[in-house]
Every structure is written in structure tokens, then in C-alpha cells.
Amino acid sequence: MSEAMPDLAALKTRQMAAWASGDYAVIGTTLQIVGESLCEALDLRSGERVLDVAAGNGNASLAAARRFADVVSSDYVPELLDRGRRRAEAERLPIVFRPADAEALPFDDAAFDVVLSTFGVMFTPDQDRAAAEMRRVCRKGGRIGLANWTPASFVGRVFRLIGGLLPPPAGVRSPALWGTRDRLQELFPSAAIETNTRHFNFRYRSPAHFTEVFRSYYGPVHKAFLALDPAGQITLERGLADLMLEFDRGGGDGLVVPSEYLEVVIRL
């Protein structure tokens, strides 16, 4: 019997609701350094046409605009684009904000010199289609830059914990596969792929503080707590605490949890 194909459209609808819930910008702004590092890895130049895919509240968009690139910031969650727009206005950065689904980008072929995504496109339900769209809108000789959590990272383990309590539909690929060279080579065949393993440090007052912030503001965790019964909520809370204990290097002086990610430069 063949394996049933997952309903990717329904999954996407649920994902949009998850990312629109809470207030991802509260967490997203702390990740700004990742966008800055990625733009440096890409050796981004002034005047280059840049598209930020699944941009969230605009970390990579702002980083590219600070380097005087011509930037379009796109996401399928309007609330996140609004947050990015307000940040750009505050810094007087000329960024164009466009609602866009990463799996059906509303841009011409070869419209951009550089296409970016930091912890964004990796969460698309149809990974092959999203990668194909990024390739399509990037010109030949251009670059695609990605920052993707790895499967063994703290964030990868958090999603594995949630998946154990709220299993995803059968046949859905893990987002963390984007954090592996093997999967990237499948998604971007015939391209030159450079990877660098980096770490982002989540810095919070304590494990309880981290859980409070993520439960309140980080859509997937927020939705997971809402979907679980009281016993499941306790299991998730304890699981998060155990992960933080495993990864914490703060030594009792504040929580410092490094999460590994793959910084990727793809040359087409």
C-alpha cells in the first residue's frame, strides 16, 4: 500500500495561524546577529537586488538594507511584515515589503541577485517547491543565503519534543533537514554549496523565563501549549526544562543556551 500524501495546503494554513499567534517579533529581534553574519558570508554589495524569503520581522532584510542593497522583504504573515516595516521606518531604511508565499513567489524569473532566508523557508511544508522558487527568482551567477537550525541543535530538539507530543501528518519532512548538507544538495542540485556551522546563544534570566517568553510569543510553542491537555502541558514544560539543563552553559549566572545552525551560501 502506498503511503498517503500529506495535505500540504491544510498544513500551511495551520502554520500560518501558528506564526501569526503570539508575537514572534519578541523572539525574532533577538536573532538579528544571524542576519548580519549571513550578509557578511554572502559578501553582500551595495546596489544588489535582494529578496528576503519568509522574512518574519525582517532581520536579514534590515541587515541587507544597512549594506545599501535594494531589498524586498516577503512573508505570508502580514502581522510579521508590519513589524518589519516599523523597524525599517525607525531606522530610515528603504525596504519594500511584499506579502508572499515562499512556495509561490510573485516575482519574475532571475529578478534578484541575492535571495535570503534566516530560519524561515526551512519551515515551508513543500520543501522542494520552496527551493525551486528561490532558484527561479535568483539570477544565474547569483547567491542564495540561508540560516537553518540543524537536527541536533537546541531548537531542532525543541521541535522534536513538540512533534513527539503532537505528531505532524505522515509524510511531512522535518524542517531541520534544511540544516543538513545532504538535503541542501537535493534541494539545490548542480549548485556550489558552502556551509559553516555556527551557534546562536539564547540568553534569558532562567529556564522559567525562557519558557514564559516562548509560551507567550513563539507561535509554534504557543500553539503547542494551547493544543495539549494539562498533563501534556506539564510534559512539554518539563521537557523544555530538561533540554535547557542539557544545553545551558550559563553556569547559574543567567541562562545561556547555544543552538547550532548551518550558515549556507549557494552559488548558482
In a domain, 112, yes or no: yes
Contact of 180 with 150, CB cutoff 8 Å: yes
The verdict on residue 251 lying in a domain is: no
What is the residue-averaged pLDDT of the chain? 94
CA nearest neighbour of 262 among 34, 27, 28, 29? 34
Beta strand extents in the chain (DSSP E only): 49-52, 70-75, 95-99, 112-118, 138-149, 192-204, 255-267
Q: What does DSSP assign to residue 264?
A: E
Considering its fold, how many domains does the chain have in total?
1
Q: What is the pLDDT of residue 4?
A: 56
3-class secondary-structure state, position 198: strand
Over residues 94-110, the pLDDT tens digits come to 999 999 999 999 999 99
pLDDT recorded at residue 5: 65
The tens digit of pLDDT for each residue in 30-80 reads 999 999 999 999 999 999 999 999 999 999 999 999 999 999 999 999 999
The pLDDT of residue 2 is 45
Q: Which residues on neighbouring strands pair with residue 195, listed in sequence order?
A: 264
The residue among 197, 206, 198, 200 whose CA lies nearest residue 244 is 206
Q: Which residue has the cell 552553559?
A: 249
Q: Which residues contact 245 (CB under 8 A, 6 or more apart)?
A: 207
Question: 66: closest CA among 95, 41, 104, 27?
Answer: 95
Helix (H, G, I), strand (E, B) or coil at 1: coil
Whether the per-residue pLDDT at 16 is higher than 90: the answer is no
pLDDT at 29 over 50: yes
Determine, yes or no, domain membership for 158.
yes
User: Residue 219 is inside which H or E element, if any?
Assistant: helix 219-227
- Do residues 189 and 255 touch, judged by C-beta distance below 8 A? no
H or E segment and range at residue 112: strand 112-118
For 138-156, what is each residue's pLDDT tens digit?
999 999 999 999 999 999 9
Cα dihedral: 82, 105, 146, 47 (round 10): -80
What is the identity of the amino acid at 165? L
Q: Summarize pLDDT for 181-225 with one digit per residue, the tens.
A: 999 999 999 999 999 999 999 999 999 999 999 999 998 899 999
- pLDDT per position as a tens digit, 156-168: 999 999 999 999 8
Cα 169 to Cα 92: distance, rounded to the nearest angstrom: 43
Does 230 fall in a domain? no
CATH number of the domain encompassing residue 91:
3.40.50.150
Domain limits for position 139: 8-201+259-267
Where does the pLDDT of residue 13 fall: very low under 50, low under 70, confident under 90, or very high at 90 and above? confident
Would 41 be classed as within a structural domain?
A: yes
pTM attached to this predicted model:
0.93
Task: Answer yes or no: is 156 within a domain.
Answer: yes
Residue 129 belongs to a domain: yes
